[in-house]
Amino acid sequence: MKRELCFAPTSNQERIVSLDIIRAIALFGILLVNMKFFSTPTLQAEMANVSFSTTLADEISQWFIFIFAEFKFISMFSLLFGIGFLVFMERGERRGANVKKIFVRRLLFLLCVGLFHMFFLWYGDILTFYALLGFVLLIVRFKSPKFLLKATFMTMMIPVLFFLLLAVLLAFVSPTTTTDQANYLSFSEVQTVVEIYGGGSYKEIFMQRLQEIGMILVGNIFVLAVVLSMFFFGMYLWKTGIFTKTQEQIDRVRKIARNSFLIGVVGLVLAIVGKLLYAGGDSPWYFVQYAGLFVSGPSLSVFYIMCILLLLQNKRRLASVAQVLQPVGKMALTNYLMQTILCTFIFYSYGLGLFGKIGPFYGLLFTVMIFLLQIGYSFLWMKRFAFGPMEWLWRNVTYGMSTEKLRMNKQVDQSVER
């Protein structure tokens, strides 16, 4: 136990500012994509081929999110988790702590939070899967960058090849039903979901959530492949020093940006074609769309990260951006959960009850407003405290530190900064 106590949370002086900024941007992008799931019965609407876009602004917003955000920011957030794992392990090993035991405790806490989030707040939780896949990282922590790079591509290609194979097989199957008959759900079933979330009791919402958790389990198997591949790529980038020696590897950063952009564009074109040609039912274009997304999402997320690193090489720009975004990234777990709390209050019956009543355009506006709110309260909170509230709880469970010790960390940080 004494060995573990010498291993404390990361201080302000040990943090890499660019990672906090990227984490904040990832949080915004995740909310941008998740907003349609918070505000409309997206799962059921896709199965019934029903759209909640009623205006030109809705259509533009929907395509903007599809092209620039879909699968990009969950990939970015996953990459950061892989980096965070290695940072955590390296710091613990330098301090002689039983780092594996501490990390397992850390994952178990995250798993509990994720399960509570999934079952009692919102079905779209990702924390549960991060916690479960985090155990895989313990197996590959000592692997070489070359191995991790190969593992990235092999893992990422599993769902892509599977979806393309399904598309080819479906293309040779002659449809015997019309598009309307092939849809899995009817419009009235979609409306029932709207009524439950927008005006039902918490019990009714809970039961509906259980159904949706079951609906997404199969699909999440493939999403997990994307998440795991980005874990591996984050570890690869960290081991090759791209974040700690960015200026020394600036040409490599540009090369990664260029290559990831080219791969991402190919995948994006495939996704756009699939989306345009999909008309509901068992269409091969549905799987073409997702094959393209599973290529473009991870690839373009890497492109975004490399571009951010290049932009932040200017110290004055880094300082300006950090002042606004670093507090958001430093309390990422708190802000991720707060997005759910705020959105379910806005859209569910126990709040404003706006579920199913807005389209993508207003969803985009809500996203911007919520994120601006998060920038504001994160800035005020981090001026006073060393950690966000959920980060404090997470670290308290992980390290077994008292409230008093965590507050002292903030005081020490401030004294060093002066």
Question: Quick one: pLDDT at residue 341?
Answer: 98
Question: Quick one: pLDDT at residue 409?
Answer: 52
Amino acid type, 52: F
Kindly report the average pLDDT of the chain as a whole number. Answer: 89
Give the pLDDT band (50/70/90) at residue 404. very low
Question: Quick one: pLDDT at residue 1?
Answer: 40
Burial class (CB in 10 A: 0-12, 13-18, 19+), 147: middle
Q: How far is CA 88 from the centre of its chain?
A: 20
Structure tokens at 312: 């932040």
Question: Quick one: pLDDT at residue 418?
Answer: 28
Model confidence pLDDT, tens digit, residues 12-33: 444 689 999 999 999 999 999 9
Q: Which of 85-99, 283-297, 328-342, 348-362 has the lowest mean pLDDT?
A: 85-99
Model confidence pLDDT, tens digit, residues 119-170: 999 999 999 999 999 999 999 999 999 999 999 999 999 999 999 999 999 8
pTM of the model: 0.90
Question: Quick one: pLDDT at residue 176?
Answer: 52
> Looking at residues 293-304, what average pLDDT do you find?
97
- The residue written with tokens 């979806």 in the block is 163
Share of the chain above pLDDT 90, in %: 75
User: How far is the C-alpha of 158 from the C-alpha of 78, rounded, in Å?
Assistant: 17
Q: How far is CA 290 from the centre of its chain?
A: 17
Model confidence pLDDT, tens digit, residues 314-372: 888 889 999 999 999 999 999 999 999 999 999 999 999 999 999 999 999 999 999 99
Model confidence pLDDT, tens digit, residues 53-69: 999 999 999 999 999 99
Task: Answer yes or no: is pLDDT of 183 > 80.
Answer: no
CA dist 346 → 120, 208, 234, 343, 374 (Å): 16, 18, 34, 5, 15
- The count of C-alpha atoms lying within 13 angstroms of the C-alpha of 182, restricted to the half-sphere facing its C-beta, is 16
